[in-house]
Structure 1
Amino acid sequence: MLPLDTRPLFPLERQTLLELLGSLDAADWAKPTVCPGWDVRDVTAHILNDYLRRISGSRDEYGGAVFDEGETLPAYLTRVNDEFVRAMRQCSPPLMIDLLAHLGPQLDLVWAATDLTGPAHLNVSWAGPGTSPAWLDIAREYTEFWVHQQQIRDAVSRPGADDRSLTHPVLVTFLHALPFALHDRIRPRGTAVRFEITGPAGGHWMAVSDGTSWDLTSTHIEDPAASVRMDQDTVWRLASRGITVETARQRAELHGDSELTEAATALLAVVA
């Protein structure tokens, strides 16, 4: 894994979000987003729910999750996220903006007090089984907020918050899903898959096999067994399933071992 510290980015991302939300009119708040059944107001409420959930769980160590009998994690998240969003429809957009501005700095303090090398409070399931490092958990939360802001921007046709400083860490975090995407493609030790992301926030990375599993590295390796080339917009939309795998593959350049490119282009960086 390639560790990164996204903690300084939360206030910057939040400021761009608050400026965006403060500029919206009533019609903008009601515009549909890529999230099924949710408009701009609903996605904003969902971001607020994420703030509340992480402060309660990570700062206050409050385990309030109650699963229905036989309910899986994805089903639980879908249910409670929808319940919160529906309840928040009684609250005004200005109130939600105030709450985000009030709670955001409190969440920043939670991250600042976290040992990045320690275990995650919430494991990142899409990066593989087992205990995740805290830095990856925090980076996952950063991508969550950034992606939802982009979904709002798409809905109201206001591009932004997409400069390299904010976007590159999202792409790096999402690429930590690549080894898990390749986990059932067993190849000899040293086999490499190159993943190149074009655009100002892009770069290139390698997933390298040890004979049983894969690891992500930025080290250049000559003659990879397979290579994938995608633009940065396609990568984040693929990883968050804003577009289908088929659409992403149509936009990509794929070379080499087709089983490896097929697996690599199915990477998923959300709970589903």
Structure 2
Amino acid sequence: MATYNQIDSVEFIILTELQPECYTVDDFRRNGKQFMTFLGSYLDAFAGLTQLFIQNLRLAEADIPNILSTCKRLQYLCMSVCDSEDSVLQLQLEHPRLVELDIYDAGFHLVDLKSLPNLKRLVFGMWVSPGEPLSFGNVPMLSSLSLNNVSAGYQKVFRLSHFLANVPNISNLHLSFASEKIWVKPECPKLLAPVLQKLRVLNLDRLPEGCDIAWTRFFLEAAPNLKMSITVWDHWCDMETDSVERGRTGLP
């Protein structure tokens, strides 16, 4: 790895022993400390990585920035069920080379994409924020965006004209609602058109039953050159059907 400049691609995947629901907070914290100790012991090796997948970690405030600064050649990062201590509600991400970012079930109220000048593809799912979970800073190359969430009752609906105001180059947009509450608000096409001017492919996945084709009209009016795919489906195998559990987890 000391000669990483001669290597095109190096992938590193950390898989923990159990599924996230089997871990306690202390387990997540221990996983995080073990990973950071491992990273600190092999800085030269991590400096040559181009792809990194980590999961089920609770990290200190500076750990994720340290990971990004250590992995200098990183082009793809996936973080699944990774968060920081409770006092850290906002995560800022900066990296000069990162092209793809995949974040699932992160315990942050806001993920600030502060400076990712080469980022082209973002997948973001299952957020806890009551409002918009992402802030788009310097991401001029971002063209593909996928958002997936089971929206709880306390979470507000998005106005895409505001949410995507700083990323007008989105050409591929995927929105999945997991058969639960729709978290996108229909808007006047004139307001929405400036942020969807380059949109060519739109996937609306697992809209809840009862949502008809009329709900999608504002997308077509704002971006008339779309190729659009729509799935309306109440997937009872994945949905929480127990009323008590739905109330406990904040589902409407």
TM-score (norm 1): 0.27
TM-score (norm 2): 0.29
Comparing both chains, which one has the higher relative contact order based on Cα–Cα distances under 8 Å and sequence gaps of 6 or more? 1
Which structure has more strand as a fraction of its residues?
Answer: 2
Which structure has more helix as a fraction of its residues?
Answer: 1
